[in-house]
Amino acid sequence: MRTPILVTGALGQIGSELVPALRERYGADQVVASDIRMVPRSELFGEGPFEFLDCTRQKRIQEVVQRYRIGTVYHLAALLSAVAEQKPQVAWEVNMGGLYRVLEVARESRCAVFVPSSIGAFGPGTPRRRTPQDTIQRPTTMYGVTKVSGELLCDYYHLRFGLDTRGVRFPGIISHSAPPGGGTTDYAVDIFHEAVHHGRYTCFLRADTSLDMMYMPDAVKAMIELMEADPERLRHRNAFNVAAMQFTPETLAAEIAKHVEGFTIDYRVDPVRQAIADSWPDSLDDSAAREEWGWSPEYDLPAMTEDMLANLRRKLGPASE
């Protein structure tokens, strides 16, 4: 990986765990965190630079990239699926306008670029089970439209300008540090907080909605391993299917109930998020990622559930044990 590294949208759910992992691996001064939000210094990532950066402002991106002589950009800034459905025009501007400007600056400064795509880049016409790496992508949400367009744009910059662009299609990401940013799979994070605090959860998706999910340590591992992979071995670039586990709200609740006595779940379905979930695959075929850069997740449903609950209980203190 070429350092120094710039992370956009670094205060979000993924960035807040990626930045510490990158700093541990490459050194705190080698990783510039940035976001359009400002938080008190005490809530930042400790040592290491932070820049206020709006990814829709090209001059500002260029300024930061040049000042730190950035070698790799992890471009995470985006509006997520549920938020993008509420504000489709803003989502286009941030997700596509931001990506285009990041790619232009990267082209001028010869940076490598990582861009996360999503299972949202698929649509109702996509085969739902074992969704292939190369398949029909006709999403029906603004989020999905920006994600599939982003994949194509990143591949175009690679083919046309020789830019080192790489990406993965993430499923729903589960984590205990930062709250999720308004996605359709947020229930799989909320359920753990409610289980620990109240012993019950009201779910906004139907009990039988099966979706692909991944625990954050595996997501961070994927982002680092792909950017460190030998480019000679990559036949695909934007973006690799990556998978770790599939479950429904019902099976997740049953797993949590093994650790939280008396835990119960009920359902109040949100039609907007249910429609989004219904247009996404159940499970991805990630054999291309396994073959081309050795992808292999560490956490399945039982291991993730145990670790999430242990971490949340630790934060709450001994009373919750």
The residues that are catalytic are: 143
Rank residues 96 and 256 by Cβ distance to ligand NAD and give the closer one: 96
CA distance 125 to 138: 7
Number of residues assigned to the chain: 321
Q: How near is the Cβ of 72 to ligand NAD at its closest, in Å?
A: 16
CA atoms of 110 and 13, how far apart (whole Å): 28
Report the amino acid identity of residue 286.
Answer: D
Name which of 151 and 263 has its Cβ closer to ligand NAD.
151
CA-angle at 176, arms to 258 and 117, nearest 5°: 110
By beta-carbon distance, which residue lies closest to ligand NAD? 12
User: Toward ligand NAD, which CB reaches closer, 20 or 180?
Assistant: 180
CB closer to ligand NAD, 114 vs 201: 114
Which of residues 37 and 235 has its CB atom nearest to ligand NAD in the complex? 37
Check the CA dihedral 10-1-95-58 and report its sign.
Answer: positive
Bridge partners, residue 117, by sequence: 169
State the pairing for strand pair 112-114/172-174: unpaired
Least separation, in Å, of the C-beta of 10 and ligand NAD? 7
Applying CB under 6 A, the residues found at the interface with ligand NAD are: 8-9, 11-15, 35-37, 53-56, 76-78, 80, 94, 98, 116, 118, 170, 172-173, 180-181, 183, 185
CB of 83 to ligand NAD, least distance (A): 7
Q: What does the block give as tokens for 192?
A: 């753990």
Phi-psi bin for 110: left (phi > 0), alpha (psi -120 to 50), beta? left
CB of 180 to ligand NAD, least distance (A): 6
Task: State the Cα–Cα distance between residues 146 and 95, nearest whole angstrom.
Answer: 6
Please, what is the minimum distance in Å from the beta carbon of residue 207 to ligand NAD? 21
- Is the distance from CB of 185 to CB of 246 less than 8 angstroms? no
